Amino acid sequence: MSKRNLTILLANPRGFCAGVERAIEIVERAIEKYGPPVYVRHEIVHNRYVVEALQDKGAVFVEELDEVPDGVPVIFSAHGVPKVVPAEAERRKLLYVDATCPLVSKVHREAERHHRDGRQIVLIGHAGHPEVIGTMGQLPEGSIVLVESAAQAETLEVEDPKRLAYITQTTLSVDDTVGIIEVLQRRFPKISGPKKEDICYATTNRQSAVKAIAERCDALLVVGAPNSSNSARLVEVARKLGCEQAMLVQRAADVDWAALAEIDVLGITAGASAPEILVEEVIGACRERFDVDIEEVTVTSEDVVFKLPRMLTAPAAA
Residue with smaller CB distance to ligand SF4, 104 or 265: 104
Residue with smaller CB distance to ligand SF4, 78 or 260: 78
Q: What's the rounded Cα separation, in Å, for the pair 204 and 213?
A: 15
Q: What's the rounded Cα separation, in Å, for the pair 67 and 14?
A: 34
Decide if residue 230 touches ligand SF4 (CB under 6 A).
yes
| Spatial CB neighbours of 80, under 8 Å, sequence gap ≥ 6 | 100, 101, 104, 105, 108, 130, 131, 134, 135
Q: At what angle do helices 48-57 and 18-34 cross, to 10 degrees?
A: 20
Q: What is the DSSP letter of 68?
A: S
Shortest CB 237 distance to ligand SF4, Å: 15
Q: What is the DSSP letter of 253?
A: G
Residue with smaller CB distance to ligand SF4, 7 or 231: 231
Residue with smaller CB distance to ligand SF4, 7 or 171: 171
Closest by alpha carbon to 278, among 77, 47, 25?
47
**Number of Cβ atoms within 10 Å of the Cβ of 69:** 11
- Segment contacting ligand SF4 (CB under 6 A): 6-14, 17-25, 35-43, 211-219? 17-25
Decide if residue 19 touches ligand SF4 (CB under 6 A).
yes
Spell out, one character per residue from 86 to 125, where the chain touches ligand SF4: x when CB under 6 A holds, - when not.
Answer: ---------------x-xx---------------------
- Segment contacting ligand SF4 (CB under 6 A): 16-24, 209-217, 278-286, 294-302? 16-24
| Binder of ligand SF4 out of 7, 12, 168, 170 (CB under 6 A) | 170
Spell out, one character per residue from 70 to 89, where the chain touches ligand SF4: x when CB under 6 A holds, - when not.
Answer: --------x-----------
Shortest CB 79 distance to ligand SF4, Å: 7
Decide if residue 169 touches ligand SF4 (CB under 6 A).
no
Our CA angle for 175, 231, 10, nearest 5°, is 95
| Binder of ligand SF4 out of 9, 17, 31, 54 (CB under 6 A) | 17
131 is catalytic: yes
Decide if residue 270 touches ligand SF4 (CB under 6 A).
no
Q: What's the rounded Cα separation, in Å, for the pair 171 and 107?
A: 12
Residue type, 208: S
| Binder of ligand SF4 out of 272, 274, 278, 282 (CB under 6 A) | 272
Q: Of 110, 131, 197, 281, which residue is the catalytic one?
A: 131
Closest by alpha carbon to 19, among 213, 199, 232, 249?
199
| Binder of ligand SF4 out of 180, 202, 209, 279 (CB under 6 A) | 202
Closest by alpha carbon to 193, among 165, 233, 225?
165
Shortest CB 31 distance to ligand SF4, Å: 20
Q: How many residues bind ligand SF4 (CB under 6 A)?
A: 15
Strand partners, 135: none
Q: At what angle do helices 174-187 and 201-214 cross, to 10 degrees?
A: 120
| Binder of ligand SF4 out of 135, 168, 171, 207 (CB under 6 A) | 171
| Spatial CB neighbours of 172, under 8 Å, sequence gap ≥ 6 | 124, 125, 126, 197, 199, 203, 229, 233
| Residues with active-site annotation | 131
Note the residues at the interface with ligand SF4 (CB under 6 A): 17-20, 78, 101, 103-104, 170-171, 200, 202-203, 230, 272
